[in-house]
Amino acid sequence: MSRRLWPAAGLVLVAAIACSDGEAPPSGPTTPGDEPTAALRQGPDQAKLEVLARRLAVALADDVFRQDLKAQLDASPVIEHKLHFRSFLEGRGQAALRRVAAANRLSDAQLRRDVDAAIPVEIYLPVAEHRDGWSGDANILVATALDDGDAPIAFDTRGKRRVLDPAQPPATPVVALVPVETAFNRFPTAKCLDCDVPPPGGGEAGGGGGSNLLVRDLTLTYAQFNRDFEGWLKGKPEFEVHIMGPAAVGDTANLKSHQCIGEHAPTGYTWDMNNLTWSGAVKLYSAAQMDAFEQANPGRAFLVFVLEDDDVACEIRTDEDRSGAVLKTLGVAYKDYKAAKDQKVFTTAGASRILTAAKSAANFLSALHSLLNSNDDIIGFAVEGSVAGLTHPNGNWVVLDEDKKSNGWIKLEMR
């Protein structure tokens, strides 16, 4: 899970801050040799992020620039008021780029080279209390981190480097400069993965009475996860549910997401879970989609897959260099993993749907970990509680990871 920053933890407003000595305010043109040596030891990507974080922090000593940044953050329509860092620098006649460069005694071209050298980043205040409480004053830090478990490296407006607690934020407001997670170019819409699935033509006769099939969608009514799979510097979690199945008719080797359910999902499938427990009603897979899936993939099951997304919303990305061997493993495992299968039951009162399940194959999840882009955290696949031998007072499907360990529960109903 690279490019992930912290395991979940209860957020506390006061934390111990370990400071490293010897970082002087910038007094002249800076070079890579002037940057913190600890950053250079941590790898080139982390070092480049620290360069940008320090550049921004030093520029925030300027009252006008600081108030301008706050105004643009406050005005951002993106979730958690995020800004795309390059767009922020280059917007409005490159005013921000010129101010940051001047504050660090760099030319505009030198600062552009720093930005070009680093991975794409976004900036925002990830802690809600910081967003609400920061007035735009100079009591501010800029922090960055690249990988899961890394302690955030922060800089104050003098350029002094600090190491923050990875489990909880400091009392001082923090502007996070972190790898891009947000699809800024298409916010707030999201990709619809099955918009082209046509409804089945006509009703289906029921047993004996000839009545039409009652339309029932697969619906999520409860969710509870053991942790949020997101660190405080990355803001609130982006939980998503994906209905997964064969990538094409007759394909037993490749899988795709047939429907995404999440905060930025298509209309009718939006779901925003901000706490560890949620209840309500959100459609996961419509009756029309289930009919189309069954027609295209007779007898096959679809998988209810839960992840915490750290990449583009409603997209599951693969590493194509490794996908061949992994997909072969997935194909074998998927034949035995009938995690969710809607069945039509005909009675004298008409026809209805029920959801059934079978045991899962652990190697399916293990293979999927290798297949997925490492920015996304797998929470697990849903397995019916009775099949897994587990019970929960509110959920009926347990979310298991590749070690068959429970990461939470959901309740699935046909409604």
Q: Mind listing the pLDDT tens digit of every residue in the chain (415 residues)?
A: 334 333 332 222 222 223 333 333 333 333 333 343 343 345 788 999 999 999 999 999 999 999 999 999 998 888 788 899 999 999 888 999 999 999 999 999 999 999 999 998 999 998 989 999 999 999 999 999 986 667 999 999 999 999 999 888 999 999 999 988 776 665 443 232 333 333 333 333 333 333 333 457 888 989 998 876 666 776 667 788 888 777 787 776 667 788 899 888 888 898 888 788 888 999 998 888 887 887 887 767 777 888 776 556 677 654 443 333 433 444 444 444 434 454 444 444 444 454 544 333 334 444 444 444 444 456 667 766 666 667 788 888 778 765 567 788 888 887 7
pLDDT at 42: 59
pLDDT at 331: 43
Strand duo 141-144 + 174-179: pairing:
parallel
Coil, helix or strand at residue 52: helix
Whole-angstrom Cα distance, residue 15 to residue 141? Answer: 14
Whole-angstrom Cα distance, residue 239 to residue 262? Answer: 6
Whole-angstrom Cα distance, residue 131 to residue 144? Answer: 17
pLDDT at 10: 27
In one-letter notation, the amino acid at residue 293 is F
- What are residue 123's DSSP bridge partners? 83, 177
Question: What is the residue extent of each domain of the chain?
Answer: 18-179, 189-414
Coil, helix or strand at residue 384: strand
Whole-angstrom Cα distance, residue 211 to residue 359? Answer: 33
Coil, helix or strand at residue 124: strand
Question: From residue 121, how far is each of 19, 344, 365, 386 by CA, in Å?
Answer: 25, 48, 30, 44
Strand duo 277-285 + 218-225: pairing:
antiparallel
Phi, psi of 128 (to 5 degrees): -60, -40
Buried b (16+ CB within 10 A) or exposed e, 124-133: bbbbeebbee
Sign of CA dihedral 114, 115, 121, 124: positive
The distance of Cα 390 from the centroid of its chain, to the nearest Å, equals 28
Whole-angstrom Cα distance, residue 33 to residue 131? Answer: 34
Phi, psi of 101 (to 5 degrees): -65, -45
pLDDT at 383: 67
Global pTM value: 0.49
The tokens describing 16, both together, are: 């111990």
Contact partners, residue 307, CB within 8 Å, separation at least 6: 239, 240, 242, 316, 372, 376, 377, 378, 379
Coil, helix or strand at residue 400: strand
First to last CA, the chain: 36
pLDDT at 231: 65
pLDDT at 136: 94
pLDDT at 408: 85
- Neighbour tally for 393: CB within 10 Å: 5
| 196: DSSP letter | T
pLDDT at 177: 95
